[in-house]
């Protein structure tokens, strides 16, 4: 019976071979597509994960409106399970020339977020850079001129106003074709560039990167388990370091304010002392003038000539006194204006 079924089946296949081949081709194509779809995602994830692990891509990027200093980075580095922690600079800049570009400038890090040199060499000076190998038609030797339309913050944050391309690279920070948006220029990042850390003239890092002691595959259960609970923990850590930074800045500002107040008080006391001394001299001069006037009244009838000569001297001295009084009032007004009206006005004697 089995033999008869096989013969019948083969006879039907031979009789309708075209239809049979079409059905088999459709089945094979479907199986191929299904297999490809099933294997594509793991293959892509495996490739990207291997690349990111090779370049030690960050697990956390920490941001603070106050920035981070070396003490903050040292604290992050000493936290449990941290393999590496590093501060970095980034800045969006606008170039000038025949065509304007909006570039996102990054500092080159040592142990985290590695880059892959595609051509040329690494930058060796603050005015040299690597440029995005996959965006723009940027050749080695090209010079980017910073646009005068950049903000003062941007101009003051870079050591050079011209950047020469000495190489091209890939960055582990950019694994897709988009380069991000910005508030500079037309709002769209043209390409990224990498500069030596010394090319940035900034007091604090704009961001901190943290990599844990793990090399698990991206999106794997092992990676999810490793990162479980770390979000809230590191939010607290970052907040505590930001609070310390805030207190440091507040203390520095308070010290400058206190020093300024002390200097103002010292200047005020010194100015008041000079005004008091000038007032005393004027009062003494007024007393002498009053005494001289009394003496002249006594000899007015007795010796008119001597009286006339004395009055001439008296009037000259009185003019000097009145000028001194006017200068004193002017100095007192200036002093009160500069010190908030706290100068002491002494009554004339």
Residue that is last in its domain, among 12, 29, 54: 54
Q: Is residue 106 part of a domain?
A: yes
Share of the chain above pLDDT 90, in %: 45
Q: Is residue 167 part of a domain?
A: yes
Rounded CA separation 120/99 (Å): 23
Task: Based on the fold, state whether residues 292 and 150 are members of the same structural domain.
Answer: no
Rounded CA separation 320/314 (Å): 10
Task: Based on the fold, state whether residues 133 and 213 are members of the same structural domain.
Answer: yes
Q: Which residue has the higher pLDDT, 159 or 260?
A: 159
Task: Based on the fold, state whether residues 295 and 327 are members of the same structural domain.
Answer: yes
Rounded CA separation 288/315 (Å): 13
Residue 347's pLDDT is 46
Q: Is residue 261 part of a domain?
A: no
Residue that is last in its domain, among 223, 251, 279: 251
Contact 102, 180 (CB under 8 A): no
| Pairing verdict, β 207-212 and 143-146 | unpaired
Task: Based on the fold, state whether residues 22 and 82 are members of the same structural domain.
Answer: no
Confidence of residue 95 (pLDDT cuts 50, 70, 90): very high
Task: Based on the fold, state whether residues 76 and 180 are members of the same structural domain.
Answer: yes
Residue 299's pLDDT is 75
Q: Which residue has the higher pLDDT, 86 or 41?
A: 86
Confidence of residue 349 (pLDDT cuts 50, 70, 90): very low
**What does pTM read for this prediction?**
0.70
Rounded CA separation 153/3 (Å): 89
Q: Is residue 309 part of a domain?
A: yes
Confidence of residue 155 (pLDDT cuts 50, 70, 90): very high
Task: Based on the fold, state whether residues 205 and 245 are members of the same structural domain.
Answer: yes
Q: What is the pLDDT of residues 238-291, one digit of tens each?
A: 999 999 989 988 998 888 888 888 887 777 777 778 777 777 776 777 777 677
Task: Based on the fold, state whether residues 87 and 192 are members of the same structural domain.
Answer: yes
Judged by average pLDDT, the poorest of 97-101, 220-224, 319-323 is 319-323
Task: Based on the fold, state whether residues 213 and 287 are members of the same structural domain.
Answer: no
Task: Based on the fold, state whether residues 335 and 281 are members of the same structural domain.
Answer: yes
Q: Is residue 259 part of a domain?
A: no
Domain count within the chain: 3
Residue that is last in its domain, among 251, 278, 310: 251
Rounded CA separation 307/120 (Å): 101
Residue 270's pLDDT is 78
Q: Is residue 256 part of a domain?
A: no
Q: Is residue 258 part of a domain?
A: no
What is the span of the domain harbouring residue 169? Answer: 60-251
Rounded CA separation 157/154 (Å): 5
Residue 23's pLDDT is 80
Task: Based on the fold, state whether residues 330 and 223 are members of the same structural domain.
Answer: no
Q: Is residue 262 part of a domain?
A: no
Task: Based on the fold, state whether residues 64 and 109 are members of the same structural domain.
Answer: yes
Task: Based on the fold, state whether residues 119 and 174 are members of the same structural domain.
Answer: yes
């Amino acid at each position: 019976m089995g033999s008869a079924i096989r013969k019948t089946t083969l006879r039907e296949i031979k009789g309708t071979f075209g239809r049979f081949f079409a059905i088999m081709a459709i089945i094979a194509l479907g199986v191929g597509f299904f297999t490809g779809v099933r294997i594509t995602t793991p293959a892509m994830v495996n490739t990207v994960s291997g690349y990111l692990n090779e370049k030690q891509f960050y697990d956390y990027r920490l941001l603070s409106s106050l920035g981070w200093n070396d003490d903050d980075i040292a604290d992050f580095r000493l936290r449990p399970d941290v393999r590496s922690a590093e501060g970095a600079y980034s800045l969006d800049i606008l170039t000038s020339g025949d065509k304007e570009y909006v570039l996102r400038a990054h500092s080159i890090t040592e142990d985290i977020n590695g880059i892959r040199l595609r051509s040329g060499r690494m930058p060796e000076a603050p005015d040299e850079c690597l440029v995005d190998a996959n965006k723009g038609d940027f050749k080695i030797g090209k010079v980017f001129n910073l646009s005068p339309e950049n903000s003062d913050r941007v101009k003051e944050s870079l050591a050079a106003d011209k950047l020469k391309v000495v190489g091209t690279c890939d960055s582990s920070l950019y694994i897709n074709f988009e380069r991000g948006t910005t508030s500079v220029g037309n709002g769209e990042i043209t390409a990224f560039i990498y500069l030596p850390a010394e090319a940035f003239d900034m007091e604090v890092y704009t961001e901190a990167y943290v990599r844990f002691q793990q090399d698990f595959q991206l999106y794997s259960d092992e990676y999810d388990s490793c990162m479980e609970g770390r979000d809230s923990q590191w939010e607290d850590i970052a907040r505590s370091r930001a609070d310390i930074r805030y207190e440091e800045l507040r203390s520095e500002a308070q010290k400058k304010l206190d020093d300024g107040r002390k200097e103002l008080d010292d200047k005020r006391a010194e100015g008041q002392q000079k005004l008091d001394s000038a007032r005393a001299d004027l009062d003494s001069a007024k007393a002498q003038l009053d005494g001289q006037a009394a003496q002249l009244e006594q000899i007015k009838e007795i010796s008119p000539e001597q009286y006339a000569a004395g009055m001439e001297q008296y009037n000259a001295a009185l003019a000097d006194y009145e000028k001194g009084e006017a200068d004193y009032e002017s100095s007192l007004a200036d002093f009160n204006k500069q010190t908030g009206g706290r100068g002491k006005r002494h009554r004339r004697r």
